[in-house]
Amino acid sequence: MIGGYSRRAFLGGALSAVAGAALAEAPAVSPRPLDRPEDLLGGAAPRFAGAALPTTEELVARARLGGQVGFAVADARTGVVLEASGADLALPPASVAKAVTALYALTTLGADFRFRTRLVATGPVKNGTVQGDLVLVGSGDPMLDTDALAAMVVQLKAAGVRAVSGGFKVFAGALPYLAAIDPDQPDHVGYNPAVSGINFNFNRVHFEWKRAGTGWAVAMDARSSTLRPAVTVATIAVAERDLPTYTYRAAGGADAWTVASKALVSDGSRWLPVRRPDLYAGEVAQVLAAAQGIRLPRAQAVWAMPAGGTVLVNHESASLSAIVKLMLKYSTNLTAEVIGLTASAKRGAPAGNLRASAQVMCDWAQERFGTGRLHFVDHSGLGGASEATAADMVRILVKVGADGVLHRHMKEIAPRDAAGKAAATAGYTIYAKTGSLNFVSALAGYVGAADGTPLAFAIFTGDTARRAAIAREDMERPDGAKAWAGRSRVLQYQLLNRWAGLYGS
Pairing of β 168-171 and β 299-302:
parallel
- Per the DSSP assignment, residues forming a β-bridge with 448 are 429, 454
Asked if residue 25 has pLDDT above 70, the reply is no
Could you tell me what percent of the chain has a pLDDT over 70? 89
- C-alpha–C-alpha distance, residues 66 and 444, integer Å: 20
Query: Which band of pLDDT confidence, cut at 50, 70 and 90, is reported for residue 329?
Result: very high
Q: What is the predicted pLDDT for the residue at 23? A: 53
Pairing of β 81-85 and β 68-75:
antiparallel
Ranges of each domain in the chain:
1-90+389-505, 92-111+320-385, 116-316
DSSP codes of every residue in 328-378:
HHHT-HHHHHHHHHHHHHHTT----SHHHHHHHHHHHHHHHH--S--B-SS
- Per the DSSP assignment, residues forming a β-bridge with 125 are 130
- C-alpha–C-alpha distance, residues 337 and 110, integer Å: 17
As a whole number, the mean pLDDT across the chain is: 89
CATH superfamily of 116-316: D-Ala-D-Ala carboxypeptidase C, peptidase S13 (3.50.80.20)
DSSP 240: S
Q: What is the predicted pLDDT for the residue at 206? A: 98
- C-alpha–C-alpha distance, residues 19 and 73, integer Å: 9
Asked whether 50 and 40 are in contact (CB, 8 A), the reply is no
Q: What is the predicted pLDDT for the residue at 358? A: 97
Query: Which band of pLDDT confidence, cut at 50, 70 and 90, is reported for residue 21?
Result: low
Asked if residue 101 has pLDDT above 90, the reply is yes
Which one has a higher pLDDT value, 5 or 264? 264
> Counting Cβ atoms within 10 Å, is residue 366 exposed (0-12), middle (13-18) or buried (19+)?
middle
Asked if residue 142 has pLDDT above 80, the reply is yes
DSSP 418: T
- C-alpha–C-alpha distance, residues 325 and 221, integer Å: 28
| Whether this model's pTM surpasses 0.85 | yes
Q: What is the predicted pLDDT for the residue at 417? A: 79
List, for residues 180-199, the tens digit of each pLDDT value.
Answer: 999 999 999 999 999 999 99
Cα 234 to Cα 203, 220, 271: the distances in Å are 11, 7, 12
Helix (H, G, I), strand (E, B) or coil at 152: helix
Q: What is the predicted pLDDT for the residue at 419? A: 72
Mean pLDDT of 274-291: 98
List, for residues 335-350, the tens digit of each pLDDT value.
Answer: 999 999 999 999 998 7
List, for residues 401-412, the tens digit of each pLDDT value.
Answer: 999 999 999 999
> Counting Cβ atoms within 10 Å, is residue 222 exposed (0-12), middle (13-18) or buried (19+)?
buried
